[in-house]
Amino acid sequence: MQIDIIGVPIDLGADRRGVDMGPSAIRYAHLQNKLEDLGYTVRDEGNVEVPIAEMCNITNPKLKYIDCIIPMARRVSGAVSTSVQAGNFPLILGGDHSLSIGSVRGAARGRKIGVIWLDAHADFNTAETTPSGNIHGMSLALLAGLGEKSLVQLWDEALPVIDPQKIAIIGARDLDSGEKVNLQDAGAMVMSMEQIDRYGMVTVLEKAIERVSRDVDGIFLSLDLDALDPQHAPGVGTPVPAGLTQREAHLACEMIAETGKLIGMDLVEVNPILDVQNQTALLAVEFALSALGRRIWNGNA
Protein backbone atom coordinates (compact mmCIF):
# COMPACT_ATOMS: atom_id res chain seq x y z
CA MET A 1 0.00 0.00 0.00
CA GLN A 2 1.17 3.51 -0.76
CA ILE A 3 0.94 6.15 1.95
CA ASP A 4 0.35 9.71 0.77
CA ILE A 5 1.64 12.33 3.21
CA ILE A 6 -0.42 15.52 2.97
CA GLY A 7 0.65 18.55 5.01
CA VAL A 8 -1.85 21.20 6.07
CA PRO A 9 0.02 24.11 7.73
CA ILE A 10 -3.01 25.87 9.20
CA ASP A 11 -3.37 27.76 12.46
CA LEU A 12 -6.47 29.79 11.54
CA GLY A 13 -8.84 27.54 13.49
CA ALA A 14 -7.09 28.04 16.83
CA ASP A 15 -6.22 30.87 19.22
CA ARG A 16 -2.52 30.11 19.57
CA ARG A 17 -0.14 30.52 16.67
CA GLY A 18 2.43 27.89 15.81
CA VAL A 19 0.56 24.76 14.73
CA ASP A 20 1.12 25.78 11.12
CA MET A 21 4.69 24.49 11.68
CA GLY A 22 3.37 21.09 12.80
CA PRO A 23 3.71 19.35 9.42
CA SER A 24 7.38 20.34 9.19
CA ALA A 25 8.05 19.16 12.74
CA ILE A 26 6.46 15.77 12.08
CA ARG A 27 8.38 15.34 8.84
CA TYR A 28 11.60 16.32 10.65
CA ALA A 29 10.92 13.44 13.09
CA HIS A 30 11.77 11.02 10.23
CA LEU A 31 8.18 10.13 9.40
CA GLN A 32 8.84 9.02 5.83
CA ASN A 33 11.92 6.93 6.62
CA LYS A 34 10.16 5.12 9.46
CA LEU A 35 7.12 4.36 7.34
CA GLU A 36 9.38 3.00 4.60
CA ASP A 37 11.12 0.84 7.21
CA LEU A 38 7.71 -0.77 7.82
CA GLY A 39 7.64 -1.76 4.16
CA TYR A 40 5.34 0.94 2.80
CA THR A 41 5.78 2.95 -0.35
CA VAL A 42 5.57 6.59 0.73
CA ARG A 43 4.89 9.64 -1.38
CA ASP A 44 5.07 13.09 0.19
CA GLU A 45 2.54 15.26 -1.60
CA GLY A 46 3.85 18.42 0.05
CA ASN A 47 1.55 20.95 1.70
CA VAL A 48 -1.93 22.06 0.77
CA GLU A 49 -1.98 25.81 0.18
CA VAL A 50 -3.10 27.70 3.30
CA PRO A 51 -3.05 31.50 3.69
CA ILE A 52 -1.36 32.97 6.74
CA ALA A 53 -3.51 34.76 9.32
CA GLU A 54 -2.19 38.16 8.27
CA MET A 55 -3.84 37.63 4.86
CA CYS A 56 -7.25 36.83 6.38
CA ASN A 57 -9.89 38.81 8.22
CA ILE A 58 -12.25 37.92 11.04
CA THR A 59 -15.63 38.80 9.54
CA ASN A 60 -17.60 36.91 12.20
CA PRO A 61 -16.21 36.58 15.77
CA LYS A 62 -18.26 33.42 16.24
CA LEU A 63 -16.68 31.85 13.12
CA LYS A 64 -13.14 33.20 13.05
CA TYR A 65 -11.38 33.18 9.68
CA ILE A 66 -14.22 31.27 8.02
CA ASP A 67 -13.54 32.88 4.64
CA CYS A 68 -10.04 31.38 4.57
CA ILE A 69 -10.90 28.07 6.23
CA ILE A 70 -13.54 27.09 3.66
CA PRO A 71 -11.17 27.08 0.64
CA MET A 72 -8.53 25.28 2.74
CA ALA A 73 -11.04 22.56 3.63
CA ARG A 74 -12.05 22.18 -0.03
CA ARG A 75 -8.42 21.72 -1.08
CA VAL A 76 -7.77 19.19 1.70
CA SER A 77 -10.93 17.28 0.83
CA GLY A 78 -9.86 17.06 -2.80
CA ALA A 79 -6.34 15.87 -1.95
CA VAL A 80 -7.60 13.19 0.45
CA SER A 81 -10.33 12.02 -1.91
CA THR A 82 -7.79 11.67 -4.73
CA SER A 83 -5.54 9.59 -2.48
CA VAL A 84 -8.31 7.24 -1.32
CA GLN A 85 -9.75 6.85 -4.83
CA ALA A 86 -6.30 5.74 -6.00
CA GLY A 87 -6.30 3.01 -3.37
CA ASN A 88 -3.73 4.80 -1.22
CA PHE A 89 -3.68 5.72 2.46
CA PRO A 90 -3.81 9.48 3.19
CA LEU A 91 -1.82 10.57 6.26
CA ILE A 92 -2.66 14.20 6.96
CA LEU A 93 -0.30 16.33 9.05
CA GLY A 94 -1.51 19.41 10.90
CA GLY A 95 -1.99 22.05 11.63
CA ASP A 96 -5.06 22.69 13.76
CA HIS A 97 -8.10 20.42 13.83
CA SER A 98 -10.14 22.56 11.44
CA LEU A 99 -8.34 20.69 8.65
CA SER A 100 -10.46 17.62 9.46
CA ILE A 101 -13.50 19.35 7.98
CA GLY A 102 -11.75 18.59 4.70
CA SER A 103 -9.81 15.41 5.43
CA VAL A 104 -12.71 13.36 6.78
CA ARG A 105 -15.00 14.64 4.03
CA GLY A 106 -12.48 13.58 1.41
CA ALA A 107 -12.15 10.10 2.90
CA ALA A 108 -15.94 9.76 3.08
CA ARG A 109 -16.62 10.80 -0.51
CA GLY A 110 -18.53 7.99 -2.17
CA ARG A 111 -18.38 5.71 0.87
CA LYS A 112 -19.74 5.27 4.38
CA ILE A 113 -17.12 5.52 7.09
CA GLY A 114 -16.83 5.53 10.86
CA VAL A 115 -14.68 8.07 12.72
CA ILE A 116 -12.60 7.64 15.86
CA TRP A 117 -11.71 11.03 17.33
CA LEU A 118 -8.85 10.77 19.86
CA ASP A 119 -8.95 14.16 21.54
CA ALA A 120 -9.19 15.96 24.87
CA HIS A 121 -12.01 17.94 23.25
CA ALA A 122 -15.08 16.79 21.35
CA ASP A 123 -14.91 19.62 18.78
CA PHE A 124 -18.70 19.54 18.68
CA ASN A 125 -19.50 23.22 19.09
CA THR A 126 -21.46 25.39 16.69
CA ALA A 127 -21.52 29.16 16.27
CA GLU A 128 -24.35 29.21 18.81
CA THR A 129 -22.46 27.27 21.50
CA THR A 130 -18.81 28.21 20.98
CA PRO A 131 -17.20 30.26 23.77
CA SER A 132 -14.24 31.21 21.54
CA GLY A 133 -15.35 31.34 17.90
CA ASN A 134 -12.46 28.99 17.02
CA ILE A 135 -13.48 26.69 14.19
CA HIS A 136 -11.13 23.88 15.27
CA GLY A 137 -13.63 23.37 18.10
CA MET A 138 -16.45 22.78 15.59
CA SER A 139 -14.92 20.31 13.14
CA LEU A 140 -16.67 17.13 14.23
CA ALA A 141 -20.05 18.82 14.63
CA LEU A 142 -19.76 20.16 11.09
CA LEU A 143 -18.95 16.69 9.76
CA ALA A 144 -22.06 15.42 11.56
CA GLY A 145 -24.15 18.07 9.79
CA LEU A 146 -24.43 20.64 12.60
CA GLY A 147 -23.52 24.29 12.32
CA GLU A 148 -22.77 26.91 9.70
CA LYS A 149 -24.18 25.70 6.37
CA SER A 150 -21.27 26.90 4.24
CA LEU A 151 -18.84 24.90 6.39
CA VAL A 152 -21.10 21.86 6.60
CA GLN A 153 -21.51 21.67 2.84
CA LEU A 154 -18.31 23.10 1.33
CA TRP A 155 -19.93 22.04 -1.93
CA ASP A 156 -23.56 21.10 -2.53
CA GLU A 157 -23.10 17.60 -1.16
CA ALA A 158 -25.40 15.27 0.76
CA LEU A 159 -25.51 15.85 4.51
CA PRO A 160 -24.21 14.86 6.93
CA VAL A 161 -20.76 13.62 5.91
CA ILE A 162 -20.68 11.24 8.88
CA ASP A 163 -23.59 9.54 10.60
CA PRO A 164 -23.27 10.70 14.25
CA GLN A 165 -23.97 7.10 15.28
CA LYS A 166 -20.66 6.22 13.60
CA ILE A 167 -18.60 8.68 15.68
CA ALA A 168 -16.61 7.70 18.77
CA ILE A 169 -14.75 10.37 20.74
CA ILE A 170 -12.01 8.89 22.95
CA GLY A 171 -10.20 10.63 25.82
CA ALA A 172 -12.50 13.65 26.18
CA ARG A 173 -12.05 15.69 29.35
CA ASP A 174 -12.83 19.31 28.40
CA LEU A 175 -16.36 19.77 27.05
CA ASP A 176 -18.33 23.03 26.86
CA SER A 177 -21.88 23.08 28.22
CA GLY A 178 -23.59 23.74 24.88
CA GLU A 179 -21.34 21.18 23.23
CA LYS A 180 -22.61 18.51 25.64
CA VAL A 181 -26.16 19.21 24.52
CA ASN A 182 -25.11 18.95 20.87
CA LEU A 183 -23.43 15.61 21.52
CA GLN A 184 -26.41 14.22 23.37
CA ASP A 185 -28.86 15.33 20.71
CA ALA A 186 -26.70 13.92 17.90
CA GLY A 187 -26.13 10.57 19.61
CA ALA A 188 -22.36 10.45 19.15
CA MET A 189 -20.40 8.13 21.45
CA VAL A 190 -18.21 9.92 24.00
CA MET A 191 -15.73 7.83 26.00
CA SER A 192 -14.22 10.23 28.51
CA MET A 193 -11.04 9.88 30.55
CA GLU A 194 -13.24 8.90 33.48
CA GLN A 195 -14.49 5.89 31.53
CA ILE A 196 -10.97 4.98 30.44
CA ASP A 197 -9.83 5.14 34.08
CA ARG A 198 -12.82 3.10 35.21
CA TYR A 199 -12.92 0.39 32.54
CA GLY A 200 -9.52 0.51 30.84
CA MET A 201 -8.50 1.37 27.30
CA VAL A 202 -9.10 -2.12 25.91
CA THR A 203 -12.76 -2.16 26.94
CA VAL A 204 -13.33 1.42 25.80
CA LEU A 205 -11.72 0.83 22.40
CA GLU A 206 -13.58 -2.43 21.87
CA LYS A 207 -16.87 -0.61 22.41
CA ALA A 208 -15.85 2.27 20.16
CA ILE A 209 -14.60 0.03 17.36
CA GLU A 210 -17.70 -2.13 17.50
CA ARG A 211 -19.83 1.02 17.23
CA VAL A 212 -18.07 2.72 14.33
CA SER A 213 -16.92 -0.27 12.27
CA ARG A 214 -20.25 -2.02 11.75
CA ASP A 215 -21.70 -1.65 8.22
CA VAL A 216 -19.08 0.83 7.02
CA ASP A 217 -16.50 0.84 4.23
CA GLY A 218 -13.69 1.91 6.52
CA ILE A 219 -12.57 3.78 9.65
CA PHE A 220 -10.87 7.16 9.75
CA LEU A 221 -8.69 8.03 12.78
CA SER A 222 -8.30 11.69 13.73
CA LEU A 223 -5.64 11.98 16.43
CA ASP A 224 -5.23 15.30 18.22
CA LEU A 225 -2.00 15.21 20.24
CA ASP A 226 -3.71 17.04 23.10
CA ALA A 227 -5.46 13.70 23.80
CA LEU A 228 -2.27 12.87 25.65
CA ASP A 229 -1.35 14.19 29.05
CA PRO A 230 0.78 17.35 28.66
CA GLN A 231 3.71 15.69 30.44
CA HIS A 232 4.00 13.37 27.43
CA ALA A 233 2.96 15.83 24.69
CA PRO A 234 3.80 19.41 25.75
CA GLY A 235 3.77 20.83 22.23
CA VAL A 236 0.04 21.40 21.76
CA GLY A 237 -1.98 24.59 21.72
CA THR A 238 -4.76 23.57 24.12
CA PRO A 239 -3.25 21.19 26.70
CA VAL A 240 -5.58 19.62 29.27
CA PRO A 241 -4.20 17.80 32.34
CA ALA A 242 -4.98 14.17 33.21
CA GLY A 243 -4.88 12.83 29.67
CA LEU A 244 -3.85 9.60 28.01
CA THR A 245 -0.49 7.98 28.67
CA GLN A 246 1.81 7.11 25.80
CA ARG A 247 0.97 3.42 26.15
CA GLU A 248 -2.78 4.07 26.18
CA ALA A 249 -2.49 6.07 22.96
CA HIS A 250 -0.30 3.39 21.37
CA LEU A 251 -2.77 0.70 22.40
CA ALA A 252 -5.62 2.65 20.85
CA CYS A 253 -3.72 2.93 17.57
CA GLU A 254 -2.71 -0.74 17.67
CA MET A 255 -6.27 -1.91 18.24
CA ILE A 256 -7.55 0.27 15.40
CA ALA A 257 -4.85 -1.17 13.12
CA GLU A 258 -5.97 -4.69 14.01
CA THR A 259 -9.43 -4.03 12.55
CA GLY A 260 -7.92 -3.90 9.07
CA LYS A 261 -10.42 -1.15 8.26
CA LEU A 262 -8.32 2.00 8.72
CA ILE A 263 -8.43 4.05 5.50
CA GLY A 264 -6.92 7.37 6.60
CA MET A 265 -5.49 9.30 9.54
CA ASP A 266 -5.00 12.85 10.81
CA LEU A 267 -2.17 13.91 13.11
CA VAL A 268 -3.10 17.38 14.33
CA GLU A 269 -2.36 20.20 16.76
CA VAL A 270 1.42 19.69 16.99
CA ASN A 271 2.84 23.09 17.98
CA PRO A 272 6.66 23.18 17.79
CA ILE A 273 6.81 26.61 19.46
CA LEU A 274 5.48 25.07 22.67
CA ASP A 275 7.32 21.75 22.35
CA VAL A 276 10.45 20.42 24.05
CA GLN A 277 13.08 19.03 21.63
CA ASN A 278 10.36 18.06 19.13
CA GLN A 279 9.00 15.55 21.66
CA THR A 280 5.37 15.86 20.55
CA ALA A 281 6.15 15.48 16.86
CA LEU A 282 8.25 12.40 17.61
CA LEU A 283 5.26 10.93 19.45
CA ALA A 284 2.99 11.72 16.51
CA VAL A 285 5.25 9.67 14.26
CA GLU A 286 5.26 6.76 16.71
CA PHE A 287 1.45 6.74 16.86
CA ALA A 288 1.22 6.75 13.08
CA LEU A 289 3.51 3.72 12.99
CA SER A 290 1.34 1.90 15.53
CA ALA A 291 -1.82 2.69 13.57
CA LEU A 292 -0.15 1.36 10.44
CA GLY A 293 0.86 -1.97 11.91
CA ARG A 294 4.13 -1.67 13.81
CA ARG A 295 4.36 -3.90 16.88
CA ILE A 296 7.02 -4.38 19.55
CA TRP A 297 6.74 -8.15 19.09
CA ASN A 298 4.84 -10.10 16.48
CA GLY A 299 5.65 -13.60 17.70
CA ASN A 300 8.67 -14.12 15.43
CA ALA A 301 12.33 -14.03 16.45
Catalytic residue among 4, 11, 20, 136: 136
Catalytic residue among 11, 174, 179, 269: 269
Q: Is 224 one of the catalytic residues?
A: yes
What is the distance between the alpha carbons of residues 164 and 212, in angstroms, rounded to a whole number?
10
Q: Do 5 and 67 form a contact (C-beta atoms < 8 A)?
A: no
Catalytic residue among 20, 119, 163, 248: 119
What does the angle CA 279 – CA 94 – CA 230 come to, to the nearest 5 degrees?
35
Catalytic residue among 97, 229, 232, 266: 97
Q: Is 97 one of the catalytic residues?
A: yes
Q: Is 30 one of the catalytic residues?
A: no
Q: Is 20 one of the catalytic residues?
A: no
Catalytic residue among 123, 148, 179, 248: 123
| Closest CA relative to residue 167, chosen from 125, 196, 124, 198 | 124
Catalytic residue among 226, 248, 254, 266: 226
Q: Is 269 one of the catalytic residues?
A: yes
Q: Is 67 one of the catalytic residues?
A: no
Q: Is 136 one of the catalytic residues?
A: yes
Q: Is 121 one of the catalytic residues?
A: yes
Catalytic residue among 121, 174, 229, 254: 121
Catalytic residue numbers, as ranges? 97, 119, 121, 123, 136, 224, 226, 269
